[in-house]
Structure 1
């Protein structure tokens, strides 16, 4: 099926590209997106939107009304950067040491600004479009904070939609699927307490390092031996902290890592399995082991009706053969999940290109592909028009 609507011609594309690159050059971390929020609010005001600020501290919401309908749609973009040193040398590289837009939130913000600008100039829909510019996606759950601050009470959208650029998918293609598309994430910290002693006299102590090493190995069986083979989860140990002296067996070891899963019941099984291993290995070694779980983002799960709606919209914009509907979800996490727990909606991936030369997410050589600006704006505009059609 070929595209049935043409890509938009954006007379302001050069300006939008410059805005994207300006945001890239000035990255800001969670809840500190003050410059970015100022830019967004100023632009929305310039387009004639009703602007609301201070939701989740630096969040910005723009409201555009057209026609007489009270129906309301929400579109969301994330604004924050990562605590990462950029290694690119192009002119719009980060000006802030240790901060970088390595995930494309600069592009997401620019695309949503472009959609707001286009629709403000051509408001050919009937209803209310709510443009949500969210802080703190990367680590601090800004979506949840916006919801706690009354986002959906103040703007009671029928459905909410999100978009992320995706290296590895060709430009001009989009992934749209119902069901889980991003995993939930949970951190864990395991403290192993033994009995410290001289390294030459290990029989006088309880070796927390040996105990911790056994636990690291055993944790690799949690998924393979406790879950149905068709279920998905990942348990990764990412930190092992122990000791300070070369001739002392330390008293304590601390392990940290993450759990990724798509279903609450799978998460529960993984946690109980970890607790059981900790108890057994502690008893076998005469040590004490305590585990703490830090539940972070839930799984991002698209509602069926809204996903099918977005598939139709994407097919009309990109052509049916360029809409991916049956690919593996990602074990990465995304706090748009909180919005999808409150409202029906759909989160899509827009192809960013092959991801060669380090242009992958969270890589110090990453950059958003500016070819996507017209594609993303076209998708957002057509989505609003199809969701809120004129009579």
Structure 2
């Protein structure tokens, strides 16, 4: 673990205690009411102003000594519908729900950063917003909701962290530009003509047509997109029929697409629509695609990401900065903030023995050694910002 300049052992332990409490009482997206009350109570004990934004999100405000700039720090607070496995002493007490992505850690990190900054108000020049955001894991996005309520109206820059299992423990990384993918979902319905399995000539088989579409939409990535622009099209569910000798009237497919640029995202949608309708029509069926647009690509502002890089190197040492960090096709609704406000999203590595399982796995856990590092990063980003902005 890196030597920390500002964050004490006691504050790190304080954060871990709160993280473990939150881990035991996870709540799903949009339902984080106990979590809301818990966060609000902690902020009030710090003497923090609580701004009037819709629950279950919580927004705290700390006025800086100059107030010439306002920066926002964000943590997501929701959990997942995942039954936790293992034998942790702080195991989830809510059946079928767990913090299998680390949002309990993000919340504890931001609470601890708020605690440090509130106790050192005289050293804090910019105003600071602390965004404890609901509903990162599910639409409607909690980020979009806060933006619509005006949370970014006076914000000059925004930063968020993710305790990141794929990145080696002890590393901190940021991409200068595209970092995470747009995440969209689709439902394809094929309407054919059912009948007896022994007389297929009398039918229009939607299952066979669906199989052609599965292969066809894979050509979107391989033949319709720039090969230097990463993209993914995944069919995760195919549904149709009731028994072995009946050709059904209808087949259903559900899936997701991922892309790192808005141009690629739009091209995927256009070409998929054409393939679904065209392949279906060629067999005499009707094909419909419903497309749900999710979070856009997460693209860091390069000025702010370079600022993060310098803060990491100055605060933790050159070796801590993950030089070769590559974008990931995972998605994050922090992307909505970055569409409206300069900022950067940052990975704090925790991959290793204590955090061996991937995000969303039933046995996922945080390496708690990463928590003080993330607290220090948030605090340093705030304290150094006035100089950077000047």
Q: 98-107 or 365-374, which moves further after superposition? A: 365-374
Counterpart for residue 279 of structure 2: 281
Tell me the CA shift for residue 368 of structure 1.
1.5
What is the distance in 1 between the residues matched to 2:353 and 2:27? 24
Pick aligned residue for 1:342 from 313, 316, 340: 340
Aligned-pair CA distance for 1:291: 1.1
Matched residue SS, 2:116: helix
In the alignment, the residues of structure 2 paired with residue 366 and residue 315 of structure 1 have an alpha-carbon distance, to the nearest angstrom, of 29
- Show the counterpart of 1:8: 7
Q: Which residue of 1 aligns with 2:97?
A: 99
Q: Is the 8 A contact 1:125 1:389 kept in 2?
A: no
How far apart are 1:358 and its partner, in Å?
4.9
C-alpha separation between the residues in 2 aligned to 1:273 and 1:321? 44
Tell me if structure 2 keeps the 8 A contact 1:102–1:362: yes
**Which residue in 1 is equivalent to 2:168?**
170
Within a 5 Å distance, the mapping from 1:241-280 to structure 2 comes to 241-280=239-278
- Distance in 2 (alpha carbons) for counterparts of 1:207 and 1:181: 42
Instruction: Specify whether residues 229 and 12 from structure 1 end up closer, same or farther in structure 2 by C-alpha distance, changes over 3 A only.
Output: closer
For residues 162-202 of structure 1, the C-alpha deviation after alignment (integer angstroms, 9 at most, x for no partner) is 00011132222101121111000111111111101011211
What CA distance in whole angstroms lies between the structure 2 residues aligned with 1:4 and 1:88? 31
Which TM-score applies when normalising by structure 1? Answer: 0.95
| Post-superposition CA distance 1:87-106 (Å, at most 9, x none) | 12111111011101011000
Where in structure 2 are there 5+ consecutive unaligned residues? Answer: none
Alignment partners' CA distance in 1, 2:163 and 2:51? 26
SS in structure 2 of the partner of residue 347 of structure 1: strand
* Gap change, CA 1:249 and 1:278, over 3 Å in 2: same
Structure 2 counterpart of 1:223, from 215, 221, 224 = 221
Distance 1:119 1:329, change over 3 A: same
Do the aligned residues in 1 keep the contact of 2:300 with 2:338 (CA within 8 Å)?
Answer: yes
Measure how far apart 1:133 and its partner are. Answer: 0.5
What residue is the counterpart of 2:144 in the other structure? Answer: 144
SS in 2 for 1:324: coil
Partner of 1:131: 130
Structure 1 counterpart of 2:115, from 104, 114, 117: 117
Runs of 4 or more, structure 1, over 6 Å off, are none
- Counterpart Cα distance in 2 of 1:222 and 1:233: 9
Please give the per-residue CA displacement for 1:288-338, whole angstroms capped at 9, x wherever unaligned.
111111101101100010000010111122211221233221101100001
Q: Is the CA contact 2:33–2:55 (under 8 Å) kept in the aligned structure 1?
A: no
Q: Among 312, 315, 325, which residue is 2:313 paired with?
A: 315
After superposition, the Cα gap between the structure-2 partners of 1:243 and 1:293, relative to the gap in structure 1 and judged at 3 Å, is: same
Residue 191 of structure 1 aligns with which residue? 189
Worse-superposed segment, 240-249 or 76-85: 240-249
C-alpha displacement at 1:4, in angstroms? 10
What is the Cα-based RMSD across aligned positions, in Å? 1.8
Partner in structure 1 of residue 358 of structure 2? 360
8 Å Cα contact 1:31-1:56 kept in structure 2: no
